[in-house]
Structure 1
Amino acid sequence: MTTLNLASPVHLQIQTIFGVRSQLDSCLFFCDEHTVIYPAGNQFILANVETKGQRIFRCIELEHIDCIIVHSNAAIIAIVASGMNPDKENTTISFYDLHTTIGKRKRMFELRDTSMTITSMAFSHDAKHLAILDCGNREYTLSLWLWQKSRLAASIKLGQTEGVTVLSQVLFHPSDNNLLSIIGRRFCRFIRHLDGNLRIQSSSAKLDQYDFISHAWYDSNRFIAGTSNGHVCVLFNGDVQTEIDVVEFRERSIPPIQRAVSINSSLGKSISRSGFYPNQQENLDTLRSTGEEVTSISVVNKGFFCLVGGKRLCLFSKIADSWDFAKAREYVIPSNEIGTARSSTISYLSSSQILHDKQQQQQQPLNNTHSMWKVVVSPKEEHVLVLTNKQQIYSVSDMAKDQSAESKEPFLLELIFNSYHQLSIRGLDIAIQKPLFISSGDDHTVRLWNYETNTIEQMKIYNEPVYAITMHPSGHQIVVAFASKVSLMNVLIDGFATVKEYPIHAAHQVKFSNGGHLFAVIDANIIQIMSPVYLKVIHRLNHGQTVKKILWTKNDLALYSQSSNYFVIWDLENQKKIFELKPTYRLDGGFIADREDKIVYLASDDGFIRAFHNGQLNHEAQLPQDDKPSCLEIYPSNGALLCGTHRGSIYVLKTPLAKILTGIFHYLAHSARITQIVVAFHEALIISCCEDGILMLWETHIKSSTKSEDWTSVVLHNKARFIHLSQTIEALQIEEHELKRNQEYRLHQMETTYLADLQRRTDMSVNERRHHENLIEHQIIEKENEQKDFEIKYADLQEKYENEKQRIEEEDRENLGRELQKEGDLIRLAQKIMEDNESRLKSTIEASENEIRDIAEYFTGKIRETENELTALRKKTRQALESNEIEKKNLETDVDDEQLKIKLEFEMERRHLIETNAKLQKQFKETHEYQAHILNVKQAEQEATAQTVKKRIQDNVLRVQGMSEEISSLKNEINERKQTITEKVDRINDLELKNQELEKFQYVLKYKIDELTRLIKPREQEIERMRNQLLEMASEREKKENELSRNRFHNVEQKRTLHAVDTQVEHERQKRKEYDNAMRRIKNDILVHFADINDPKRVKNAVAYLYEKHVQNDNVKNIYITADVSGGLSEEILAQDRQRLFLERTTSDLKRKLNSDLHTTKANRMRIMNENALLLQA
């Protein structure tokens, strides 16, 4: 802030700023882990992303800013500005501290004595060096500064001789201050600072084929660079190690040839530059039309963020044991362009626009392209923020959330702060009875703000421009001027509801009266006065020229209107002009009147502010620095003027005005033309807005104030009556407050007693529950021990079974060997005896098949018996579970909600035991099935062996037809096979014995289940006892509720008493009204006969008539009641009566709302007590 005098009548201090300065695409930085800095107007904001708090410091360089950069670790900000000195065009750089003394300038020096265009800036890792890349006369200059000493260390010029066409960015090595990297179109080089000179190091010729626009160092050996055609390259020692195509589903006319050292990316689109044909190397520049350029890169742990085409934010993660990166996430801006703004409401009008609206939109098009400018990451990578071209700041809030491989939907970014205006703000107004103010702008939005919580209460988007807006003093209604209509709306809890629409096109200002009973609308050169109560036009005033601004007087009986060169004061009662002014200068800076409506201040385009008193020019003052005013506002307490200018500054002017500059005080505020300034009713807050879409909330401090007791402007007559009424209301409120305090004290006593009893019973219930839990835990431990014993025994049995199985297999192999040896002998003998023994062999084969069939039937019967036993066991278990479910349902119908919770927990434990038992049964079943499967396998093996033998015998039959003498040897073979079958039968008997042992284990498990069932019965008895205890508690609760009902009845009686008092007050008020009507009638009669005061005869007749009418007839009561007092009364008196009735209805509404709030509060209190009781019982 710069002032010309220290004795300012009003000291302004910025409290909160809503918005981000536009036209700066790289102005968002992190100062520390939780604080972000960005410019807004001519201030810097240090905002905490967690608490949403703001710290603000002013910076004069922001008026001429070219570029900024912040070093997070050193907490230093560098600002480059041009044109700071009005005498010459120079470029300066300033350094400010952001850590200890926020906003303190540490150093400032001149970079060049002429203007320069900054392309890129970079701090070294220790913040001692600053590299600046500027462009001028088709040539780039890279300068290396020791900024702490204000000394230029080295510089180098880069032009076409070095192969430079367009450069984009310069960065320092992450650990070496003397090594820099610089990129651009077909240019990527390392520059070494050595002996006071900058030397360009050579690099691979392949890098000259890329159009680099952004890059970031990944480690000390590699950096990541993005191109204009949607590729990200990982460069190692000056060569491309990995290339990633971030454009999905890109169509290529010529397929690339795979390079040997190339590594495929996550998208499968890694491209080798050597893979292009020679005649296709120049096609890289032609791919820029895709709009998928990589504009910003930020490195994080094991990956990096990059902005693709301003539409997508992609997170790439490094693949282990390689230098390839896979796309892990993708983020986009929400389609509704407001993200997750708190309490935001979006609505689009359904009516189609007319041709005039389309022409308006063509003249002032709304930019719907929402693109991301920059991505920043906090030092510890806890927060990731994105700055967009519509002055919004988004955050990545779901970093820990996993994305499924099948999901292809991108994540949505969320607003970290409020949703700000995106274009110029045209309308601004503030309520009196609520901490609310409303704004509208060229972004087609209407936003309702709360200046106490600094949040948006409501927001609505329309499909046509919003030209002006005003708010009712109560904050319950607004009037919005669109391009095709003017709408009167009610402010609801969830949006704005339209009450009536007026066909008025392009109304550039609307204004509610101070009392709120009227509002004025500008319709070209006509001013229409409308009533929000009757919803009709009351007056129409013809200004004669296109009206730019209107203003109501303090008593709402007159209206000010202003055009470019014509100013008028209107009397609304007779719709005539009280005063008019036609100056020779243009009135483009607005106007304002003092609190007594005696002095009017007019601002013109020549920079003068003139004060007119009774139509005569009194004083005038000119703004310094050739600044032009854009709007005026007055501070009611001391009459100080607040003037907003085209440059965005705010001037505070002492009144009366003077030509010298001692009474003008300057505040740096916005960076664009200020459109409106409003002052809150309590005068502790001032709000300003500008064409840059920024809202500023100013806190005011006054050293000396002449503010007197001010009456609300809606009170238009009979001040004493309303003083008495307010005193009566205060007395009734005091009495009501005392009754309320007594009732609250009794309720507090009852609540304390009830809570103590509830706590005692809760402690008893908790102790008993803990005891039950300990018993259940002990039983679970015992069950686990038994389970372990069973597993050990089962393991032993399984081991024995495996050993026995191995022994049997070895015996089978030995028998098979012997059989094969004998088979060879049989083959030699069978050739001789084949013919004679064919019939005998067939009978032998049939006998063998019969024996095998008998064995199969025997084992099948055994398996069926086992399955029947398992089925019976499952049926018993199912019956037990059904009985438990029936018992559970009976218990659920008997106990209340808290007992149900305890019962459900116990049932969960029992269900756990049942499930464990089911698992054991399942294991037992699996054991049985496994053994049966083994038997089936063995039977199948035997059948396969029999089939093999049968086949071999059939073969032998063909060969041994003539060997009848060897029948005896075949009989011996059959006997041996019978012995083998006998051994198998013995083995089956052994398995049956083991099956019996398993049945014994099943019996033991059944015994354990019975024992657990026996232990459940005492628990059920305990549950029954607790249920009885809960019933007793319920009865006590009913007693408490009965007592509360009696207290409520007592409250109802007290309210009836209060209602009787209100009725009496209303009766007295009606009686007073009747007396007033009678007095008006008498006064009107006297006024009628006063004209005949010079004629004695008429005077005598008039006195006799008045005596007969008002005294002799004694008809006062009839006059009070039945006389038509409306006749002869003026319109002003009738308006006063209507205003009084309006205030009485408002008072009754407030009382009714107070009673409803009391009932709601009591109901909420009882609900909270019940919920606390339920939680304590749980």
Structure 2
Amino acid sequence: YWLWEKQQLLATTHIEGPGDGLCQVSFSPQDNAQVCITGNGIFKLFKYSEGTLKATILQKGELQNYLCHAWVSAERVVCGTDTGRLMILENGEMRWETSVEYKIPPRELEEDTTKEPGSLTSFSAFDSSDISCDLVSDDNGSQDTLPRICAVAAYSKGFACSSSPGVVLLFEKSEEKDVYRETQEIWIPRDFCSSEPDQSDREDIICICFSPSEETMIVSTTKKQLYMFTMPSTEIVKEKLAHFIHLHFPLHSDAITGLDSCIRKPIVATCSLDRSVRIWNYKTNTLELYKQYQEEAYTVSLHPTGLFCLVGFSDKLRLISLLYEDMHVFKEFAVRSCKECAFSNGGHLFAAVNGNVIHIYSTTTFENTNNLKGHSGKIRAVKWSADDAKLVSCDAHGAVYEWNLSSGKRESECVLRSCNYSSIALSPFPKIIFAVGSDQTLKEISESSILHEVPAFDVVYTAVAVSHSGHMLFIGTSLGTIRTMRYPLPLPTEFNEYQAHAGPVTKV
């Protein structure tokens, strides 16, 4: 029990139960000194007083595996169990109970017969109505699966809960005393950009919340998506079946493995282990294009014109045309598990990494014009010089090489076997390279020598980028933070740090 404004711990208590731990702790909305704690075989109410948490109420009767709970009034708590039971408890006594059935998505006539599974959708700002809301039943799913109440939230008319993948049920108070009735089912829409659209709406909902005005309900899912639903203002407009829409647009559901920005357009491309490629507009803050493929995507590079992108998949390297409402593969290259690729600044060449070899291709003829060999470890990053005459690469065995594209030979090298490099960046100033890796330092390299090493202070630097002016560095860390440093590098080390992500920064 914390006083968070002063970062002060006020009280602690130890909870023991027959199950495997606690699931949820919450304050009473009317009394912040009263706390409800639920879990497997646990339902307890505590009161904070004089520096201690005192148990005031225990549940009477058979204990359940409570997965979630919510306060519906100052004295009453609704709880959901792993067997689909909903219970309202007041002072530990049962006031109301019901069992919810496992829900199967309703089969509806598809309104848009022209949209094929796997097709691509564009999204406008703050509007995801382009997403089809048609739903079909999961023919492969087990209809006798036990429901699990994984999330519940209260509002003035009753409460909402999720009992099955992809659906939220609304319960409202009836005219009978202590009785709630189910009034509405709200379903997650199918995603026709998914490689498996029939399964795309079967996401487990893990959190439900209402806006203070109760006009909007927001849910989050196990696939890291956010959906919204506008609550009906009157009973007249309420339908038994309704559908969520994306809060903004679909987000990546797995680690982002590739990131690139376009030179001539305000767009950024990302790819992910969720097998999708997405094109974002950072001026309008919108998702312009999005498509999911059958294979995992490891790396992406945007052509300077913004009309094409390279994507390295587990089976091939693909050159994709970015059309108005489609992403069309028009050339494939036999480069398996390509983890790094990059267009030259002029766009006439591109580099693709296969293990410890860098393949150079012509963008106009698609010919393999050069193969740069010499790395002993897997290549982690490649960067083109401003004039495209040189290429710099780093690998997992501590080597940083500078290549001459005319001769295909190495011009300089800096090898530090104790460091597993993860990222490099080129300064606009001549012959300055920045590299980061496993040894927790930022290195400034010039002409085969390390000029400066800046310590990271017990954090691993994972990615690095340089501003166009060359006077600012942006460094990602294993803690999900972004550090900014001035160049020339200050001694002693000075930087600003911003918490950006909950996991390691993979690309900058």
Instruction: Identify the TM-score tier after normalising by the shorter chain.
Output: 0.7 to 0.9
Report if the CA contact (8 A) 2:87-2:97 is conserved. Answer: yes
Change (3 A) 1:403 1:605: same
Which residue of structure 2 lines up, in the alignment, with residue 584 of structure 1?
417
Give, in angstroms, the shift of residue 392 of structure 1: 1.7
Which residue of structure 1 lines up, in the alignment, with residue 78 of structure 2?
224
Q: For 1:427 and 1:304, locate their aligned partners in 2 and report how far apart those are by CA, in whole Å.
A: 41
Which residue of structure 1 lines up, in the alignment, with residue 126 of structure 2?
none
Note if 1:599 corresponds to 2:498.
no
Q: Which runs of 5+ in 1 are unaligned?
A: 1-79, 81-91, 96-106, 113-131, 141-158, 251-288, 337-344, 350-366, 678-1178
Q: How does 1:315-714 map to 2 (within 5 A)?
A: 315-336=170-191, 346=193, 348=195, 370-397=203-230, 399=232, 410-545=241-376, 546-564=378-396, 565-617=398-450, 619-657=451-489, 660-677=491-508
Give the one of 168, 172, 178 matched to 1:313.
Answer: 168
Q: Secondary structure at 1:294's aligned position in 2?
A: coil
Q: For 2:484 and 2:57, locate their aligned partners in 1 and report how far apart those are by CA, in whole Å.
A: 60
Q: For 1:616 and 1:199, locate their aligned partners in 2 and report how far apart those are by CA, in whole Å.
A: 64
Report if the CA contact (8 A) 1:608-1:623 is conserved. Answer: yes
Q: For 1:168 and 1:433, locate their aligned partners in 2 and report how far apart those are by CA, in whole Å.
A: 50
Give, in angstroms, the shift of residue 238 of structure 1: 4.2
Report if the CA contact (8 A) 2:69-2:152 is conserved. Answer: yes
Report if the CA contact (8 A) 1:554-1:596 is conserved. Answer: no
For 2:369, give the aligned amino acid.
I
Q: How does 1:1112-1131 map to 2 (within 5 A)?
A: none
Report if the CA contact (8 A) 2:190-2:201 is conserved. Answer: no
Give, in angstroms, the shift of residue 175 of structure 1: 4.3
Q: For 1:420 and 1:513, locate their aligned partners in 2 and report how far apart those are by CA, in whole Å.
A: 29
Give, in angstroms, the shift of residue 420 of structure 1: 1.7
Change (3 A) 1:575 1:196: closer
Give, in angstroms, the shift of residue 400 of structure 1: 5.0
Give, in angstroms, the shift of residue 513 of structure 1: 0.3
Report if the CA contact (8 A) 2:380-2:422 is conserved. Answer: no
Q: For 1:108 and 1:193, locate their aligned partners in 2 and report how far apart those are by CA, in whole Å.
A: 17
Change (3 A) 1:647 1:661: farther
Report if the CA contact (8 A) 2:308-2:322 is conserved. Answer: yes
Q: Secondary structure at 2:69's aligned position in 1?
A: strand
For 1:216, give the aligned amino acid.
A
Q: Secondary structure at 1:247's aligned position in 2?
A: coil
Give, in angstroms, the shift of residue 451 of structure 1: 0.7
Give, in angstroms, the shift of residue 640 of structure 1: 3.1
Change (3 A) 1:403 1:426: farther
Q: Secondary structure at 1:548's aligned position in 2?
A: strand
Q: For 1:474 and 1:298, locate their aligned partners in 2 and report how far apart those are by CA, in whole Å.
A: 48
Q: Deviation digits for residues 564-615 of structure 1, max 9, x if unmatched? A: 2333222222222222333333241422222144222333432233333333
Q: Tell me how many residue pairs correspond in the alignment.
A: 465
Which residue of structure 2 lines up, in the alignment, with residue 94 of structure 1?
4
Q: For 1:173 and 1:595, locate their aligned partners in 2 and report how far apart those are by CA, in whole Å.
A: 58
Note if 1:240 corresponds to 2:94.
yes
Q: For 2:355 and 2:54, locate their aligned partners in 1 and report how far apart those are by CA, in whole Å.
A: 67
Pick the structure with greater CA Rg: 1
Percent identical: 25
Q: For 2:55 and 2:417, locate their aligned partners in 1 and report how far apart those are by CA, in whole Å.
A: 65
Change (3 A) 1:495 1:93: farther
Which residue of structure 2 lines up, in the alignment, with residue 119 of structure 1?
none
Q: For 1:309 and 1:240, locate their aligned partners in 2 and report how far apart those are by CA, in whole Å.
A: 24
For 1:428, give the aligned amino acid.
L
For 1:632, give the aligned amino acid.
V
More helix by share: 1
For 1:331, give the aligned amino acid.
I
Q: Deviation digits for residues 20-44 of structure 1, max 9, x if unmatched? A: xxxxxxxxxxxxxxxxxxxxxxxxx
Change (3 A) 1:242 1:662: closer
Report if the CA contact (8 A) 1:170-1:182 is conserved. Answer: yes
Give, in angstroms, the shift of residue 648 of structure 1: 2.4
Change (3 A) 1:403 1:538: farther
Q: For 1:639 and 1:211, locate their aligned partners in 2 and report how far apart those are by CA, in whole Å.
A: 57
Change (3 A) 1:201 1:506: closer
Q: How does 1:803-814 map to 2 (within 5 A)?
A: none
Report if the CA contact (8 A) 1:467-1:507 is conserved. Answer: yes
Give, in angstroms, the shift of residue 198 of structure 1: 6.2
Report if the CA contact (8 A) 2:399-2:417 is conserved. Answer: no
Q: For 1:172 and 1:313, locate their aligned partners in 2 and report how far apart those are by CA, in whole Å.
A: 23
Q: Deviation digits for residues 410-459 of structure 1, max 9, x if unmatched? A: 43221112322222111111112211111111111111011111010000
For 1:393, give the aligned amino acid.
L
Q: For 1:440 and 1:227, locate their aligned partners in 2 and report how far apart those are by CA, in whole Å.
A: 37
Q: Secondary structure at 1:586's aligned position in 2?
A: coil
Change (3 A) 1:180 1:627: closer
Q: Secondary structure at 2:7's aligned position in 1?
A: strand
Q: For 1:172 and 1:547, locate their aligned partners in 2 and report how far apart those are by CA, in whole Å.
A: 51
Q: Deviation digits for residues 993-1037 of structure 1, max 9, x if unmatched? A: xxxxxxxxxxxxxxxxxxxxxxxxxxxxxxxxxxxxxxxxxxxxx
Which residue of structure 1 lines up, in the alignment, with residue 128 of structure 2?
none
Q: TM-score, normalised by structure 2?
A: 0.81
More strand by share: 2
Which residue of structure 2 lines up, in the alignment, with residue 970 of structure 1?
none
Q: For 1:653 and 1:493, locate their aligned partners in 2 and report how far apart those are by CA, in whole Å.
A: 39
Q: For 1:475 and 1:180, locate their aligned partners in 2 and report how far apart those are by CA, in whole Å.
A: 54
Report if the CA contact (8 A) 2:41-2:63 is conserved. Answer: yes
Q: How does 1:93-112 map to 2 (within 5 A)?
A: 94-95=4-5, 107-110=6-9
Q: For 1:607 and 1:585, locate their aligned partners in 2 and report how far apart those are by CA, in whole Å.
A: 11
Which residue of structure 2 lines up, in the alignment, with residue 711 of structure 1?
none
Report if the CA contact (8 A) 1:397-1:414 is conserved. Answer: no
Q: Secondary structure at 1:323's aligned position in 2?
A: coil
Q: Secondary structure at 1:675's aligned position in 2?
A: coil
Give, in angstroms, the shift of residue 482 of structure 1: 0.5
Give, in angstroms, the shift of residue 331 of structure 1: 2.0
For 1:671, give the aligned amino acid.
A
Change (3 A) 1:200 1:557: closer
Q: Secondary structure at 2:421's aligned position in 1?
A: coil
For 1:373, give the aligned amino acid.
I
Q: How does 1:162-177 map to 2 (within 5 A)?
A: 166-171=21-26, 175=30
Q: For 1:109 and 1:611, locate their aligned partners in 2 and report how far apart those are by CA, in whole Å.
A: 42
Q: For 2:50 and 2:481, locate their aligned partners in 1 and report how far apart those are by CA, in whole Å.
A: 48
Report if the CA contact (8 A) 2:78-2:89 is conserved. Answer: yes
Which residue of structure 2 lines up, in the alignment, with residue 823 of structure 1?
none
Change (3 A) 1:215 1:640: closer
Report if the CA contact (8 A) 1:487-1:502 is conserved. Answer: yes
Give, in angstroms, the shift of residue 307 of structure 1: 2.0
Q: Which runs of 5+ in 2 are unaligned?
A: 105-143
